[in-house]
Structure formats: C-alpha cells, structure tokens
Amino acid sequence: MDQKKLMTWGILGFFLFIVLIMVSSATFVTIESGERGVLFRRFSGLEKEIVFAPGFHMVAPWNTMYVYEVREAQLEEEMEVLSSNGLNISVDVTARIRPNYGDVPSLHETFGPEYMERLIRPEVRSSVRQVIGKFTPEELYSTKRDEVQTLITEELTNTLARNYIDLRAILIRDIELPDKVRMAIEEKLEAEQGSLKYEYILTREKQEAERRLIEAQAKADANRILAASLSDNILQDKGIEATLELAKSPNSKVVVVGGTGNGGLPLILGGGN
C-alpha cells in the first residue's frame, strides 16, 4: 500500500515538475494596442481561425507568437518612370496602408512580417509606372495630376484588397520633369495664356463696338420717328406754350409779334428790366 502511494505521489510529482518546467520556460507575450497576434503551433501549424487581441498572453515554449502592427503605416517611394512619349519623370509617392484585422493570419502565411517589401512596394511601383505611362509630361505637369492620383488609387485598392491590405490613400507629393521639358511646357503655357488674354481683349472691343452701333442705330430710329411725328400744328402749339410761359416771367419784358407767313410761329422779342 505504501509502495502504491509512493508511486502515485511520484507520478504526480513528475507531472508537476513537467508543468513547472513548461511554465517557467513559457514565453510571455504582451500585445499592445494597435497590434494583433498570430500563433504558430509547432505540432499543428498556423492558427488561422484566431487573431490574438491586445493583452497578455502565455505561449508554450515550442510555439511562436508573431505580432503585427495594424495601425495605419506609410510607404514613401521615389522612382523614375516613363511618360507616354518615353521621357524620364521622377515621381515621389506616399502610400498609406493598414492590414485588415481579421486577415492577419492569411497575411502572415502569404507574405510574412516583411509584407511591406514583398507586397506593398512592388505593387505601388507597378501601378505608378502603368498609370503614368498613359500621360504626356505636359498633362502630368499641368492638368492631369489629380486624375493620375485617382487612377493609381483605384488600381491599388483592388490589388491590395485581394491581399489582405486596406489602402487608405495614395498621395503624389512631387512630379519632377527634366529641366528642358519643364521650361518648354512653361513657355507654351505662358504663350497660351497670352493668346487667351489677347482673344479676350478683341472680344471685349468687338462687343463694345456692337454696343455703340446698336445705341447709335437706336438714336437714329428715335429721331426719325420724332421727326415724322412733328406736324406744323404741333410746332405752332409748342410755340404758343413757350410764349405764354415767357410772358408770365416778372423779370422780363416780352413783345409778341405774329409770325410771318401762313400759320407761322410768333416772333418773340424781349429784354431785361
């Protein structure tokens, strides 16, 4: 009986010893806020169904916890690309990305912790080259910069989404053309602006001339209508009205003499006091 108890206690002690060794050699991992963990079990493989949240975790010594930062990160890339007519253009691009929380195990299995270099950078470079290759240097320098940025964003969004990455934004910080090309474009733009200004001045002068012509025509039409409406009787009535008004003046001496001729207007002779 004593031997059985001793054997039982020995077995319990052995297991306790094993557990103690396991606990003492276990890895303690703290996953910070903005991070997620992926557990690789040596005897069963990658834990794909569980994404370890921020907090304190104990990992068996034969397993490995990989910690991924899931905060938004930036990739800045300076590169040389070719325009549609084969000229070298320097482009400075920033990509803002974030791993999808629930897809961290798949991201780890496919690309690993170096996913920035294995996935993001090559895809950014490829999309920038492909999109900018559709435009001329003049378009890139003047009118198409926002369109280029939008096209790169659309293409990269779909590509990275299939690979467990959320693209937050693509920012084109700078597009630098060769000096000769840039100077030629600036001279052309200045010439176009001058031409537009001259065209505007001509249009304005033409409109002003048309306005004056219309005004003169309106005055001529008014005078013609007025002349046609003035008969002898109307003129005589106007003369009489004027004579009567002058006669009412206290400071004037007015002599009214009938006009000569049939129906003529009166002759008005007057002087001061």
Burial class (CB in 10 A: 0-12, 13-18, 19+), 131: buried
* Strand partners of residue 31: 55
Structure confidence at residue 3 as a pLDDT band (50, 70, 90): low
What pLDDT, in 10s, does the model give residues 140-183?
A: 777 788 888 999 999 999 999 999 999 999 998 888 876 666 56
Burial class (CB in 10 A: 0-12, 13-18, 19+), 52: buried
CATH number for domain 73-177, candidates 3.30.479.30, 3.40.50.300, 3.40.50.2000, 3.20.20.70: 3.30.479.30
More confident residue, 65 or 224: 65
More confident residue, 247 or 96: 96
Cα separation values, 35 from 32, 38, 108, 121, 167, Å: 6, 10, 14, 21, 18
Lowest mean per-residue pLDDT among 12-21, 64-73, 97-106 = 12-21
Query: Could you give the CA distance from residue 167 to residue 97 in angstroms, rounded to a whole number?
Result: 5
Q: Looking at residue 123, what is its pLDDT?
A: 95
Burial class (CB in 10 A: 0-12, 13-18, 19+), 152: buried
Query: Could you give the CA distance from residue 87 to residue 181 in angstroms, rounded to a whole number?
Result: 9
* Strand partners of residue 66: 38
* Strand partners of residue 217: none
Q: Looking at residue 263, what is its pLDDT?
A: 52
- Which residue carries 């209508």 as its tokens? 225
- Which residue carries 């396991």 as its tokens? 22
Say which residues have a Cβ less than 8 Å from residue 30's Cβ, sequence separation at least 6: 55, 56, 57
Q: Is the pTM of this model over 0.85?
A: no
Structure confidence at residue 60 as a pLDDT band (50, 70, 90): confident
Q: Looking at residue 25, what is its pLDDT?
A: 43
* Domain chopping of the chain, boundaries: 23-69, 73-177, 179-210, 235-272
What pLDDT, in 10s, does the model give residues 230-267?
A: 566 665 666 667 666 666 666 555 555 555 555 555 55
State mean pLDDT over 116-144: 87
Alpha-helical runs (H) found in the chain: 2-25, 104-110, 115, 121-132, 137-141, 145-161, 179-229, 232-247
Say which residues have a Cβ less than 8 Å from residue 49's Cβ, sequence separation at least 6: 105
Closest to 123 in 3D by CA, of 92, 174, 167, 80 = 167
